[in-house]
């Protein structure tokens, strides 16, 4: 699967999308609401997890990631307002799933926090890149802007590799942790998917609420997650 985002000219069906289609509008507002709440919570969770950093240098690096997430929240919220929607209302349907994800994946220590930051950044990048191709040009531009600002987690890689080198035993624990993170993310996403048909159709590129297509999307996300785990020196 290519990770490139096609330009509107390459895909005529995209150019036809507009907000007068009530189902498309509902799906886009859902998407922006889910992403906005996800980014806001990423800000707060990263800021909280930074307290476990071994020094102020690492603490400030995690804070940099948190600040970037807040910038994304701002863009998404402002877009909702521009479209005439109340951001609070648009975010509400996703609060339970996103809070549930974080409640069940609170890092026990600094290394788990680093892996969560790295894995979360990667999965978010994949998702933004995938969904961008199915959006109208304006929403696509916003999503691509946010996506191009992701990837602040590169500093995590070196720290995690060093920790594994210093104590190879942690590799097993972190590999397990990585699987748990993706497992919980998929569980919560499936919960949302069961309740938001137009959003699912949008994310799948117009396909109906097809269980097979959803499962394939998660399988593809998991494959790319596994690649990232390997790049950290962890068994996927």
Q: Closer to a second copy at the Cβ: 12 or 55?
A: 55
**Please, which residue, 67 or 83, has the CB nearer to a second copy?**
67
- Per CB under 8 A, does 94 bind a second copy? no
3-state secondary structure of 132: helix
Instruction: Map tokens 């997890």 to a residue.
Output: 49
d(CA 183, CA 100): 13
Binding to a second copy by residue 70, rule CB under 8 A? Answer: yes
Question: Residue 90 in contact with residue 32, Cβ under 8 Å?
Answer: yes
Residue 211 CB, nearest approach to a second copy (Å)? 32
- Phi, psi angles (nearest 5°) of residue 93: -65, -10
Q: Where are the beta strands (DSSP E) in 46-188?
A: none
Q: Which is nearer to a second copy, 48 or 83 (CB)?
A: 48
Q: Packing angle between helix 22-49 and helix 137-148, nearest 10 degrees?
A: 10
Looking at the Cβ atoms of 88 and 141, the one nearer to a second copy is 88
- Residue showing tokens 């990048």: 125
Residue whose token pair is 């806001």: 40
- Region 28-47 residues binding a second copy, contact defined as CB under 8 A: 37, 40, 43-44, 47
Of the ranges 16-24, 60-68, 197-205, 215-223, which one interacts with a second copy (CB under 8 A)? 60-68
Residue 134 near residue 143, CB atoms below 8 Å: no
CA dist 10 and 171 (Å) reads 43
Confirm or reject binding of residue 91 to a second copy (CB under 8 A).
yes
Q: CB-wise, 71 or 209, nearer to a second copy? A: 71
- By beta-carbon proximity to a second copy, the closer residue of 34 and 66 is 66
* Cα–Cα distance for residue pair 215/221, rounded to 1 Å: 10
Binding mask 131-170 for a second copy (x = CB under 8 A): ----------------------------------------
**Residues in contact with a second copy by the rule CB under 8 A:** 37, 40, 43-44, 47-48, 50-51, 55-57, 59-60, 63-64, 66-67, 70-71, 73, 77, 87-88, 91
């Amino acid at each position: 699967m290519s990770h490139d985002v096609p330009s509107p000219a390459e895909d005529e069906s995209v150019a036809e999308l507009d907000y007068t289609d009530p189902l498309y509008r509902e799906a886009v507002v859902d998407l922006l609401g889910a992403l906005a709440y996800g980014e806001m919570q990423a800000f707060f969770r990263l800021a909280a997890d930074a307290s476990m950093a071994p020094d102020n240098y690492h603490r400030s690096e995690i804070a940099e990631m948190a600040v970037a997430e807040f910038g994304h929240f701002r863009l998404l919220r402002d877009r909702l307002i521009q479209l005439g929607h109340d951001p609070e209302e648009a975010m509400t349907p996703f609060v339970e799933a996103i809070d549930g994800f974080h409640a069940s994946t609170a890092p026990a220590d600094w290394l788990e926090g680093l892996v969560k930051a790295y894995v979360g950044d990667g999965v978010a990048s994949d998702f933004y890149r995938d969904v961008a191709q199915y959006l109208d040009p304006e929403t696509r531009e916003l999503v691509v802007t946010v996506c191009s600002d992701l990837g602040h987690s590169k500093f995590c890689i070196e720290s995690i590799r060093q920790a594994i080198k210093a104590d190879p035993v942690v590799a097993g624990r972190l590999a397990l942790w990585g699987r748990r993170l993706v497992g919980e993310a998929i569980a919560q996403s499936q919960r949302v998917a069961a309740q938001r048909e137009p959003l699912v159709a949008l994310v799948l590129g117009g396909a109906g609420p097809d269980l097979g297509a959803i499962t394939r999307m998660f399988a593809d996300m998991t494959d790319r997650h596994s690649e990232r785990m390997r790049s950290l020196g962890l068994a996927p």
